[in-house]
Amino acid sequence: MTDMKVKITSNPAPAHWGDKALVSLSGNDITLHIRDDADRLRSIRKAARQIDNLGIPSVTLSGEWSVIEQVTFVMSFSKARNPGEVTLCDNAERAEAERQVTAMMFTRKLTNDTPEQLSPVGLAQESADWLQSLNGDAVTYRVVSGEQLAAEGWTGIYNVGRGSERPPAMLELDYNPGGDPEAPVAFALVGKGITFDSGGYSLKSSEGMLDMKCDMGGAATVTGALGLAIMQGLNKRVKLFLCCAENLVSGHAYKLGDVLTYKNGVSVEIVNTDAEGRLVLADGLIAASESAAGCIIDAATLTGAATVALGYDYHAVFSLNPVLSQSFLSEAQTQQELFWPLPLQSWHQEKCPSAFADTANSRPQKGGGAGGASNAAGFLSRFVSPTDSWLHLDLAAAYHGSANSEMPAGATAAGIRTLAAFIGQ
């Protein structure tokens, strides 16, 4: 089939296509009729899905498209299996659009990989290799794995991952463009990298387990964001910590009733082995705090409660510093990505009580009980210092188990543009 050209206009479609048609075709030309500025990107996503559903294998964008519009079209047109090809507009903004697509496609591919393809060590190594390929002179890293995690005191990652034959791992990566080992760390990024989550002994249902290859979406998101920022010329020092493990059942797996004691002295009773993400993130947050970063941001597909609150369209934002969270939300608005604040107070630390430890890792009830997303954020706040420079992102919109009218099935890569812009500002 001949390559189709796709242009965008605010004019309505010819009458025979219908008053509300988003797409019309004429020969080798496809026109997107996008009239609603308030919902412009949503309409572009819908039009892209309609074109892909026609079985058109390749298109070229032509005419007047902004960077965000081009990237939005690509991410909705390109499904996981047999994706169509998109040639971006040949204009001055093409290079930036290509950078954004590259980063988002890396994140999408990493998140969509099967659990067999992507082990914890593999996730750490693949992320490091990609970032090093973007600016090798500025990137150094090490991967701590297996028993070495226990030896160094990274108790959360070690215990969550010890039930698997494939060892857990922590990636510690330093992007230091100036090369000065004494340079201050502007940002520390922490990502949840659970490459498969069975729930452990708090076993998930088969239906609930099906999409758990995406439980490393936080790690993929912060890696993609750092990569995009590097491609955009990031000149600040940033450290990246990926907390990688498979949460499986075995004779060596951690169990309900265990008590873990972290490097900062906080003891945690395990009341739900399916609340494992916060256990691995705790190690990453301690490491990020040790770096004395000016701002710490963690990202995780952490709770079903965030999805209940926000659906699959928004990422949740938590912070004990309203000025910091508002600054991030303002950047999200500029980037036209959907984030929404959920409540967090210092007393949320007390919402997971334990008679045997400083805290439990959840509440012993389905979904962690009422306010589960805020309670999880409160748990994480125990491992951050200082808390007023910390943002927690619960990525409710990171993955769609099935296609809808706007997005193909699988990873969305949503949030990368905002994170990259925020650390690069």
- Residue 223 to residue 193: CA distance in whole angstroms: 11
Check the CA dihedral 211-216-218-222 and report its sign: negative
Which residue among the candidates 7, 42, 79, 204 is catalytic per the annotation?
204
Q: Is 109 one of the annotated active-site residues of the chain?
A: no
- Residue 344 to residue 356: CA distance in whole angstroms: 25
- Residues written for the chain: 425
**C-alpha closest to that of 419 among 285, 194, 238:** 238
Please state, in angstroms and as integers, the Cα–Cα distance from residue 293 to each residue in 34, 172, 281, 298, 315, following that order.
43, 14, 16, 13, 23
Q: Is 35 one of the annotated active-site residues of the chain?
A: no
Region of 34 please: left (phi>0), alpha (psi -120 to 50) or beta: beta
DSSP state letters, 312-369: TT-EEEE-S-HHHHHHHHHHHHHHT--EEE----GGGGGGS--SSSSEESS-SSGGGS
Name 97's Cβ contacts closer than 8 Å, sequence gap at least 6.
67, 70, 71, 88, 89
Torsion of Cα atoms, 358 then 359 then 364 then 366, to 10°? 180
Which residue among the candidates 278, 351, 382, 417 is catalytic per the annotation?
278
- Residue 82 to residue 85: CA distance in whole angstroms: 9
List, by residue number, the catalytic residues: 204, 278
